[in-house]
Amino acid sequence: MDAHVAQLQMQYRNYILSLYQQGFLDDQFTELKSLQDDGSPDFVAEVLSLFFDDCVKLVGNMARALDQIGTVDFCQVGANVHQLKGSSSSVGAKRVKGLCINFKELCEAKNYEGCVRCLQQVDIEYKTLKAKLQDMFNLEKQIVQAGGIVPQVDIN
Amino acid sequence: MSLFHVLGFCLKIGQLFWMLCCWFLSWFLDADKSPLDPDKTKMKNHNKMCFLWNKISTSGLKIPPSFSHHLFGSVRFGKTFWRKVLVAWVVSWVLISFWTFWCLTSQAMAKRKETLASMCDERARMLQDQFNVSMNHVQAMSILISTFHHSKFPSAIDQRTFSEYTDRTSFERPLTSGVAYAVRVLHSERQEFERQQGWTIRRMEQNPVHKDDYDTEALEPSPVQQEYAPVIFAQDTVSHVISLDMLSGKEDRENVLRARRSGKGVLTAPFPLIKTNRLGVILTFAVYKRDLPSNATPNERIEATNGYLGGVFDIETLVENLLQQLASKQTILVNVYDTTNHSQPISMYGSHVSADGLEHVSPLNFGDPFRKHEMRCRFKQKPPWPVQSMVTSFGILVIALLVAHIFHATLSRIRRAEEDCHKMELLKKKAEAADVAKSQFLATVSHEIRTPMNGVLGMLHMLMDTELDVTQQDYVRTAQASGKALVSLINEVLDQAKIESGKVELEEVRFDLRGILDDVLSLFSGKSQEKGLELAVYISDRVPEMLIGDPGRFRQILTNLMGNSIKFTEKGHIFVTVHLVEELLDSSDVETSSSSSTENTLSGLPVADRKRSWQNFKAFSSNGHRSLALAPSEINLVVSVEDTGVGIPVEAQSRIFTPFMQVGPSISRTHGGTGIGLSISKCLVGLMKGEIGFSSTPKVGSTFTFTVVFANGMHSTERKSELHNNNQPEFEGMNAVLVDHRPARAQVSWYHFQRLGIRVEVVTSVDQALRFMKTYATTVNMILIEQEVWNKEADVFVKDPLVHSPKLFLLANSIDTSVSDTLSNVIDPPVLIVKPLRASMLAATLQRGLGIGKRETPQRKGPPALILRNLLLGRKILIVDDNNVNLRVAAGALKKYGADVVCAESGVKAVSLLKPPHEFDACFMDIQMPEMDGFEATRRIRGMEEEMNNGEALTVEEGKRSRWHLPVLAMTADVIQATQEECLKCGMDGYVSKPFEAEQLYREVSRFFNSPSDTES
């Protein structure tokens, strides 16, 4: 039983590390995790679900705005990108954030092609992240069910 | 010597000649093989030439198939011009040689003809002369007869006298074989004459008879004629003609008649002579009764005729005799003809057999105008082969062909060279492309291998955490080590490939060199402590604090060199120094003298001569003025990594920078590594406009030195000291005493402490330290002591009461047991500073050790999170952000510190919540929000506060808070100066960056909130 837990913990640790190494997450996510304590046990999940809801909404908004070919409101897209950038930097979604920074520049340059491409990337990226984090939560759950505790991962 | 040359030359010529022969042969064979039109073969010579010319020019010179086969298929149009020139050259020289041949031959012919003519004329003249002499003599004899026979009575001459006389004078008539005299006898006088002579006049045989059968007696008497001319006297040689009537012979009669008519010597046509039957001519002179005048008529002459004197010329024999007297008889053939009748010349002498067609005709004048004679001469032999002209013309041809051959060979060689060059270029391009492809392939493949390898390594790591027996663990560990080695190899290969394919571009960023070195040092600190090595860095003061360049790559080089050093060093030290090139140039003399003493090294062990490692550097070249060429903002650094390791064997030193070359195969087994590191380092150093070199002494150690060029990252306004202060202000102004007997090591320690702003006094022994302490005990904050010194003299030191007041620090290479033992014995154990020294570690340790100093400023120490909690506990804080996620995160962060957090999603709502009197202690406000942004909201709040303040000033009594002012902090992601100013302008009190950082949050918050403990107390 203990071995199983240990293995799960190991797997969890490596998984988290790989997320950091592959640049999905940055220190802010660590910060976020550190904010979770007994007082708010689901804090991270809560924030993340907020974030992903935001993503869906904002990406949808931007897609609609970019659909109006010829009359694209770049200001509106820019505002949405800004929102997304803020959210992603808050949760430490490094890749999404990076994309948003590019996206914003493209928006300011009113580069339609670039914006569309970037939007697609953002869409792919946040969905990937969502899947990855879902896996992470599943692992956490498994550990807890197996009677272990979720280990603190020191990324340094 | 010259003989050899001549021999060689002959051989060469022979070879060429042979080749030419082959060439010709093949040419003609080639021409024969071609289907020739039968008409064309009958063409005249020059037509043939034309045809050949056409053939040659149309067939594009396939003449020499024997040695030009390599040209087939590679004939290019551009070369046809030269080919035509070549053919024209050959043809023209063939023509010229033929012409020469013809010229020379015709010249020879002319000469031959001339010779023949002169010889012929000579012979003709001789013959003529001798004939004339004979003729004259015969004439003289006729006068003799006229005088002594006819004018005397009785005659003074009889047959015997005559024959005797003629015989004795025959030498005078070299051409005559005999003379005879016939008298004119009329028919009336015949009987009288016959009676007188005693014989009858006989006529000549009409049919020639054989010589032996000739018998005068047998001849019949002459028939009756008008007159007779019987021979009365004759030389012995012709005595058989006596009594013959000359008029009875056809030839003789004609001759006699002509002679008496003309009064001159007359010749017969050649005819076979009586009895001898040989060919001869007879010269006849008439003998007259009286001396006739020269203009006498023929009738007068006939009247006066007494007799006829005839000389027989046996031409054949005579000419033979004559010619024998002359030289070169063999060379020519002489023919003499009587050409009185032009259509039928009568041959008098000579055969007709001759091979040569050349003939010369010389006229002969024998004094008889009626008869015409000529001499025809020919050469006996055919003309000899015109060897000279043949040789000459052939020589010309050979020379011309040789020249053509050389020309042709040159052309083909040039073409071949061009083709080769072309081929080489193609190959070169291919090779370059292949090289690039190789690098790209390496880069791609390495990258692709890395990804799965990470998986493998991760899994191995996990596997190690499972329950394994010892063997399994060993296997897994080995597998993991191999995997790691593979990954590092791949990384290195990737690097190398990237550098080779020119994909590496250096960054241009501002960086802190000392920080980088500290980092690298901490990287190796574990290993060095494990091995007990002294690891140290010294950076010259003159090196600027901030540089601009590629810190990552610089770090890579350094890591590499230090990694090698660590790998190969078992005891002693590894010492990294950074200087300016100028600095070393200035002090190079001092360096040499000081480094020569082994005592002065970091660990006291001898090292390789550092100076030799850079002796080949351009920057250090004898004039040493390269630094002048650098722009003033460029910093030329010299970095040396010195170790006391095994050193590099002399035979391996030359290939040390070659990729994958290690000292020996055993190295990689014992120490690992791929041998690519130094090659990469060299490439990188090259990219940084530097050079790398080393000096190494086996068993002593190696020193690697490289130079790099960075830009100066220091602004002129910045002062170095300011930067120092910013880093670690708390140690500024402290004093320390360092006890170390090694100057080099002391200097390194001194350097690190003074970086923190600590003034260090170096003493070489414990005694000196104690003496120093006596005078300055009060001002010294700490005593630093080397482990080496401590081990020897710890007891003395600890017992001294002077030492107890300042804090004692021990500088050690590793935490080994001996040190810990001694430490535990002491009452107030010294704080251990484990080398390598580096700023952050040193500062932390000193902070820990100087606990007293910390306690004096407690609120500034300790983890910020804790203090924040103190500050924020129970505070009611409003957070305004339109972004849910941000809001939630910020709220979570503040809640964690114990704050009571209220959220607002928009500026409007915030304004409505923040109506004074305030129930909140602070507000964190996002700037960029829809509808109402943070600036606007703050402005409104400030406006309301202003109103309130003004109103309250009238109503509220004094002692109460005079002004409402809620701390409003901006939350912003971009930390640009302009935004900060904007924040302050619209009434905000500060800003925090959006993902909260504890330090910054603390800094801002502490400005507004006093700590609860203070307020409580």
pLDDT per position as a tens digit, B758-786:
888 888 887 787 777 777 767 777 888 88
pLDDT of B103 above 70: yes
For residue A83, what are its two tokens?
């929102």
- Hey, is B704 helix, strand or coil? strand
Partners of B883 on chain A (C-beta within 8 Å) are: 54, 83, 86-87, 90
Provide the pLDDT for residue B429. Answer: 94
Q: Tell me which range, B451-465, B811-825, B946-960, is most confidently predicted by mean pLDDT.
A: B451-465
Q: Give the length of chain B.
A: 1017
The answer to whether the CB atoms of B995 and A89 lie below 8 A apart is yes
Could you give phi then psi for residue B576, rounded to 5 degrees? -105, 125
Query: Among all chains, which residue has been given the structure tokens 């490289």?
Result: B706
| pLDDT-derived band at B330, boundaries 50, 70, 90 | low
For the segment B840-850, the average pLDDT, to the nearest whole number, is 76
Q: Which residues of B498-513 are buried (b: 16+ CB within 10 A; e: fewer)?
A: bbbbeebeeeeeebbb
Query: Among all chains, which residue has been given the structure tokens 């241009």?
Result: B508
B714 CB-contact burial (10 Å; exposed 0-12 / middle 13-18 / buried 19+): middle
Of B881, B928, B995, the CB nearest to A28: B995
Which of B421, B416, B404 lies closest to B71, judged by CA?
B416
E-assigned strands of B161-275? 176-183, 185-186, 227-228, 231-234, 266-267, 271-272
The answer to whether the CB atoms of B885 and A51 lie below 8 A apart is yes
Provide the pLDDT for residue B92. Answer: 92
pLDDT of B79 above 60: yes
Q: How far apart are CA B187 and CA B865, in angstroms?
A: 195
Q: Tell me which range, A139-143, A146-150, B61-65, B260-264, is most confidently predicted by mean pLDDT.
A: A139-143
The answer to whether the CB atoms of A86 and B896 lie below 8 A apart is no
* DSSP one-letter code for B796: H
The answer to whether the CB atoms of B995 and A10 lie below 8 A apart is no
Q: B102: how many CB neighbours lie within 10 A of its CB? A: 13
For the segment B534-552, the average pLDDT, to the nearest whole number, is 86
Of the two residues B94 and B800, the one the predictor is more confident about is: B94
CB neighbour list of residue B382: distance below 8 Å, 6 or more residues apart? B355, B356
Provide the pLDDT for residue B491. Answer: 77
Partners of B992 on chain A (C-beta within 8 Å) are: none
pLDDT in tens, B487-542: 877 777 777 777 776 777 787 888 888 888 888 888 888 788 888 888 888 888 88
Q: How far apart are CA B576 and CA B752, in angstroms?
A: 13
pLDDT of B961 above 80: no
User: How large is the ipTM?
Assistant: 0.81
For the segment B90-94, the average pLDDT, to the nearest whole number, is 90
| SS3 per-residue string spanning B35-87 | CCCHHHHCCCHHHHHHHHHHHHHHCCCCCCCCCCHHHCCCCCHHHHHHHHHHH
pLDDT of B619 above 60: yes
pLDDT of B628 above 70: no
**pTM to 2 decimal places:** 0.42
- Distance of residue B581 Cα from the nearest chain A Cα, in angstroms: 37
pLDDT of B74 above 50: no
Provide the pLDDT for residue B116. Answer: 86
| pLDDT-derived band at B44, boundaries 50, 70, 90 | very low
Those of residues 873-912 in B touching chain A at CB distance below 8 A are 881-886, 888-890, 892-893, 895-896
pLDDT in tens, A13-29: 888 888 888 888 888 88
Q: In what order do the strands lie in the sheet with B759-763?
A: B759-763, B735-739, B782-786, B807-812, B831-834
The answer to whether the CB atoms of B892 and A28 lie below 8 A apart is no
pLDDT in tens, B563-601: 888 888 888 888 899 988 888 777 654 444 444 445 577
Of A3, A82, A91, the CB nearest to B885: A91
Provide the pLDDT for residue B254. Answer: 82
Of A6, A36, A90, the CB nearest to B885: A90
pLDDT in tens, A34-75: 777 777 778 888 888 888 888 888 888 888 888 887 777 888
Q: Do residues B228 and B330 touch, judged by C-beta distance below 8 A?
A: no
Conformational region of residue B104, where left means phi above 0, alpha means psi within -120 to 50, and beta covers everything else: alpha
The answer to whether the CB atoms of B895 and A40 lie below 8 A apart is yes
Query: Among all chains, which residue has been given the structure tokens 């100057």?
Result: B743
For the segment B539-561, the average pLDDT, to the nearest whole number, is 86
Query: What architecture is the B505-586+602-618+632-664+671-712 domain classified under in CATH?
Result: 2-Layer Sandwich (3.30)
Partners of B926 on chain A (C-beta within 8 Å) are: 86
For the segment B231-239, the average pLDDT, to the nearest whole number, is 84
| pLDDT-derived band at B63, boundaries 50, 70, 90 | very low
Partners of A32 on chain B (C-beta within 8 Å) are: 889, 892
Q: How far apart are CA B245 and CA B215, in angstroms?
A: 15
| pLDDT-derived band at B1011, boundaries 50, 70, 90 | very low
Fold: same for B123-377 and B735-852: no
Q: How far apart are CA B179 and CA B312, in angstroms?
A: 6
Provide the pLDDT for residue B31. Answer: 46
pLDDT of B859 above 60: no
Cβ of A49 under 8 Å from any chain B Cβ? no
pLDDT in tens, B923-945: 888 877 777 878 888 888 888 88
pLDDT in tens, B411-460: 899 999 999 999 999 999 999 888 888 777 877 777 777 778 878 888 88
Q: Do residues B641 and B576 touch, judged by C-beta distance below 8 A?
A: yes
Report the residue of chain B nearest A51, measured CA to CA: B885
User: Over chain B, what is the mean pLDDT?
Assistant: 75
- Distance of residue A113 Cα from the nearest chain B Cα, in angstroms: 26
Distance from first CA to last CA of chain A, Å, rounded? 29
Chain A interface, mutation test: which of B476, B889, B906, most A Cβ atoms within 10 Å? B889
Which of B202, B230, B233 lies closest to B216, judged by CA?
B202
Name the pairing type of β-strands B546-549 and B573-580: unpaired
Which of B725-729, B865-869, B949-953 is predicted with the least confidence, judged by mean pLDDT?
B725-729
E-assigned strands of B916-993? 922-926, 968-972, 990-993
For residue B518, what are its two tokens?
């500290």
Cβ of A86 under 8 Å from any chain B Cβ? yes
Report cis status (omega within 30 of 0) of the bond before B386. no
Report the residue of chain B nearest A27, measured CA to CA: B995
Rg of chain B over Cα atoms, rounded to whole angstroms, equals 71
Provide the pLDDT for residue B992. Answer: 77
* Domain B865-950+963-1007 indexed as CATH 3.40.50.2300: yes
Which of B25-39, B77-91, B308-322, B570-584 is predicted with the least confidence, judged by mean pLDDT?
B25-39
Provide the pLDDT for residue B206. Answer: 57
Cβ of B469 under 8 Å from any chain A Cβ? no
Of B458, B893, B994, the CB nearest to A35: B893
Q: Where are the domains of chain B?
A: 123-377, 387-409+428-500, 505-586+602-618+632-664+671-712, 735-852, 865-950+963-1007
Pick the CATH number of B123-377 from 3.30.450.350, 2.60.40.10, 3.50.50.60, 3.20.20.450: 3.30.450.350
- Distance of residue A51 Cα from the nearest chain B Cα, in angstroms: 5
For residue B629, what are its two tokens?
């060429």
For the segment B721-747, the average pLDDT, to the nearest whole number, is 70
CATH number of B387-409+428-500: 1.10.287.130
Torsion of CA B836, B837, B839, B840, to 10 degrees: 50
CB neighbour list of residue B225: distance below 8 Å, 6 or more residues apart? B187, B245, B247, B248
Longest pairwise C-alpha distance within chain A: 62
Partners of B467 on chain A (C-beta within 8 Å) are: 3
Cβ pairs A/B, distance under 8 A: 77
Cβ of B408 under 8 Å from any chain A Cβ? no
Report the residue of chain B nearest A89, measured CA to CA: B995
Q: Which CATH superfamily is domain B735-852 in?
A: Response regulator (3.40.50.2300)
For the segment B665-681, the average pLDDT, to the nearest whole number, is 67
Q: How far apart are CA B741 and CA B738, in angstroms?
A: 10
Task: Report how far Cα B736 is from the mean position of its chain's Cα atoms.
Answer: 69
Provide the pLDDT for residue B352. Answer: 65
pLDDT in tens, B331-372: 777 888 888 777 777 777 776 665 667 788 888 887 777 888
Which of B1-15, B508-522, B879-893 is predicted with the least confidence, judged by mean pLDDT?
B1-15
CB neighbour list of residue B57: distance below 8 Å, 6 or more residues apart? B84, B87
Which of A2-6, B56-60, B845-849 is predicted with the least confidence, judged by mean pLDDT?
B56-60
| pLDDT-derived band at B8, boundaries 50, 70, 90 | low
Q: How far apart are CA B755 and CA A23, in angstroms?
A: 36
For the segment B384-410, the average pLDDT, to the nearest whole number, is 88
Partners of A92 on chain B (C-beta within 8 Å) are: 995
Which of A123-137, B309-323, B638-652, B724-738 is predicted with the least confidence, judged by mean pLDDT?
B724-738
pLDDT of B123 above 80: yes
Provide the pLDDT for residue B847. Answer: 76
| pLDDT-derived band at B75, boundaries 50, 70, 90 | very low
For the segment B151-169, the average pLDDT, to the nearest whole number, is 84
